[in-house]
Amino acid sequence: MRIAMIGLGRMGANMARRLCRAGIEVVGYNRSKDIISQLADEEGMLAASSIDDLIQQLPSPKIVWLMLPAGEITEHHIELLNSKLSKNDIVVDGGNSNYQESIRRGELLKKNSIGYIDAGTSGGVWGLDNGYCMMVGGDTANVKQIEPVLKVLAPSAESGWAHVGPVGAGHFSKMIHNGIEYGMMQAYAEGFALLKNKTEFNYDMAQVTELWRHGSVVRSWLLDLCADFLDQDQELKDIAPYVADSGEGRWTVEESIKQGVATPVLALALHMRFASQDSDAYSNKLLAMMRNAFGGHLTKGK
């Protein structure tokens, strides 16, 4: 099987690696050429010099997977592919696009009989080794076409991926997933801040986080990541207490307003990220480090 991958950033490159290592041929294209050469040399990925070259290297029906930032860049490539692909070809958007945009893009491509799949993807920089959680929206026939790819990218062929509904359902579920992530991270950060500030007990933060990882009801992968980086640095003095929000949290809160569903924890977690730009709180340093640990998101130094 051969597919194309456009966007070889932190996640896209590792997804290409995982596919190549499983025997799926990947034709890769990226704005920066260095990563193309690296993946071609290290993994045997097929290099593309342009979008046209990428398309020419694909058999029909062609499958083109996008791993690009949400917004204008993804929109540009969808429009470009809409003009270059043919009937029964498939475009997969594995980025964090807004689900409403995904529904619109699906309708746009459908006019030319091009299939569209929105694949909410979670796993961050650890996905290469651990696999990715894939939340997939689209027509059943189109999803069936990419099923071998999903089985390789997921933690196993039987788990960690699912066809969750029609076009838009994949990115909607990923949006809610990320909203929940905001709340979980905020709860950990605030709890650890209380421990850190109880100076008379002089807690060993690494010890407590490691303790909670075993048998506790609050154990999770996020806690594992906290234990890892706190074991190296408990003070986080060189980390600026600035926590970015990449969009999905905002969209989740906007959706809760539309539905009239109370989501106070998710809303407050989002607002705490806004507040982090003006705060020197230890909790925000922890939030920044958690984002870096699971997703490779950059932290800001002081």
Q: Which domain holds residue 80?
A: 2-166
Q: How far apart are CA 197 and CA 282, in angstroms?
A: 9
pLDDT digits (tens, 9 = 90+) for 221-278: 999 999 999 999 999 888 888 888 878 899 999 999 999 999 999 999 999 888 886 6
Arithmetic mean of pLDDT, 44-66: 98
Residues 45, 156, single domain; the answer is: yes
Answer whether 91's CB lies under 8 Å from 109's CB: yes
Q: How far apart are CA 266 and CA 263, in angstroms?
A: 6
Out of 122, 140, 166, a domain closes at: 166
Residue 273: CATH number of its domain: 1.10.1040.10
Residue-level pLDDT at 178 = 94
Arithmetic mean of pLDDT, 57-63: 97
Q: Which of 101, 181, 248, 255 is catalytic?
A: 181
Residue-level pLDDT at 296 = 77
302 occurs within a structural domain: no
Out of 166, 193, 223, a domain closes at: 166
Residues 82, 128, single domain; the answer is: yes
Residue-level pLDDT at 139 = 98
Residues 7, 153, single domain; the answer is: yes
pLDDT higher than threshold 90 for residue 87: yes
SS3 state at 90: strand
Residue-level pLDDT at 50 = 96
Residues 88, 16, single domain; the answer is: yes
Residue-level pLDDT at 286 = 87
What's the structural domain count of the chain? 2
The rounded percent of the chain whose pLDDT value lies above 90 is: 84
Beta bridge partners of 165: 137
pLDDT digits (tens, 9 = 90+) for 170-209: 999 999 999 999 999 999 999 999 999 999 999 999 999 9
pTM over 0.75: yes
The rounded percent of the chain whose pLDDT value lies above 70 is: 98
255 occurs within a structural domain: yes
Residues 105, 126, single domain; the answer is: yes
Residue 37: CATH number of its domain: 3.40.50.720
pLDDT digits (tens, 9 = 90+) for 3-52: 999 999 999 999 999 999 999 999 999 998 999 999 999 999 999 999 99
Residue-level pLDDT at 269 = 93
Residues 91, 11, single domain; the answer is: yes
Would residue 181 show up in a list of annotated catalytic residues for this protein?
yes
Would residue 87 show up in a list of annotated catalytic residues for this protein?
no
Residues 158, 188, single domain; the answer is: no
Residues 95, 214, single domain; the answer is: no
Q: Which of 62, 151, 174, 285 is catalytic?
A: 174
Q: Which of 283, 274, 247 is nearest to 171 (CA)?
A: 247
Complete edge-to-edge strand list for the sheet that includes strand 63-66: 46-47, 25-29, 2-6, 63-66, 90-93, 115-122, 133-137, 161-165
Residue-level pLDDT at 174 = 97
CB-based contacts of 132: which residues, under 8 Å, 6+ apart? 15, 121, 122, 123, 153, 154, 155, 160, 161
Arithmetic mean of pLDDT, 92-104: 97
Mean pLDDT of the chain: 94
Which 3-state string (H, E, C) describes 228-250? HHHHHCCCCCCECCCCCCCCHHH
pLDDT higher than threshold 90 for residue 281: no
Lowest mean pLDDT among 60-74, 95-109, 157-171, 228-242: 228-242
pLDDT higher than threshold 80 for residue 109: yes
Residue-level pLDDT at 278 = 63
Residues 258, 282, single domain; the answer is: yes
Residues 8, 146, single domain; the answer is: yes
pLDDT higher than threshold 90 for residue 132: yes
Residues 156, 193, single domain; the answer is: no
300 occurs within a structural domain: no
CB-based contacts of 56: which residues, under 8 Å, 6+ apart? none
Out of 119, 141, 166, a domain closes at: 166
Rounded (10°) CA dihedral 173, 176, 180, 182 = 120
Residues 48, 195, single domain; the answer is: no
